[in-house]
Structure 1
Amino acid sequence: MLELRPNCECCNRDLPPAALDAMICSYECTFCADCAQRVLRGVCPNCGGTLVPRPIRPAGKLAGSPPSVVRVFKPGGCASAPVGTA
């Protein structure tokens, strides 16, 4: 089950469960579409994997399978994050 992390690791922008612009890699590192495309060019800075749109969990399923509340944020931004530091 996906964690549905609540924010972009680069800019700390909120990404609620229904966000259409949330992007993830296979390890669920989470970024907003703007950072994923403009800063990271579609590649996760942590693992080197491809960033793809995060699926939406139906609202009726959130109570039984709530999204994560743990925020992952890199204050220095993620453009300079070395691959392999997930």
Structure 2
Amino acid sequence: MLELRPSCEHCNKALPPASAEARICSFECTFCATCVDTVLGNVCPNCGGGFVARPVRPAQDRQGGNFLGRYPASTTVRHRPVDPAAHAAFRASLEDVPPDAR
């Protein structure tokens, strides 16, 4: 079950469960689209993977109790700003490797 983390790990922008701005890697590291595009260059600073849009969990129970009310989003903030210079070097080491091959 995805945690649906509440904010961007870099800039701490709020990313509510229905946010179309949330991006996640395969380890659920969560960043806003702006930080993924402008700071991270689609390279997760924690694992080196790429990012995809985070799915939205339905707010209403449409079938089988699978909805936000039964499975709420996380409230644990993980604010760990990225050092842009260090990340640029890390990103450069992966620039020739597509996200699906990292």
Q: Is residue 62 of structure 1 aligned with residue 68 of structure 2?
A: yes
Instruction: Give unmatched runs, 5+ long, in structure 2.
Output: 61-66, 91-102
Compute the RMSD of aligned alpha carbons. Answer: 1.5
Q: Could you report, residue by residue, the CA deviation over 1:52-79 in whole angstroms, capped at 9, with x for unpaired residues?
A: 11000011111100000000001xx213
Identity over aligned pairs, percent? 53
Which residue of structure 2 aligns with residue 42 of structure 1? 42
Could you tell me the TM-score, scaled by structure 2's length?
0.75
Matches within 5 A, 1:1-86: 1-60=1-60, 61-74=67-80, 77-78=81-82, 79=84, 80=86
What TM-score, normalized by structure 1, do the two folds share? 0.88
> How much does 1:38 deviate?
0.5
Listed one character per residue, the Cα deviations across residues 3-41 of structure 1 (whole Å, up to 9, x for unaligned) are: 000000000000000000100000000000000110000
Greater per-residue helix proportion:
2
CA distance in 2, matches of 1:17, 1:30: 12
Structure 1 stretches of 4+ with a deviation exceeding 4 A read: none
Q: Per the alignment, in what secondary structure is the counterpart of residue 59 of structure 1?
A: coil
How far apart are the structure 1 equivalents of 2:21 and 2:7?
Answer: 11
AA aligned to 1:8 is C
Amino acid at match of 2:8: C
Q: Mark the runs of 5 or more structure 1 residues left unpaired by the alignment.
A: none
Q: Distance in 2 between matches of 1:23 and 1:34?
A: 10
Instruction: Report which of the two structures shows the higher radius of gyration computed on alpha carbons.
Output: 2
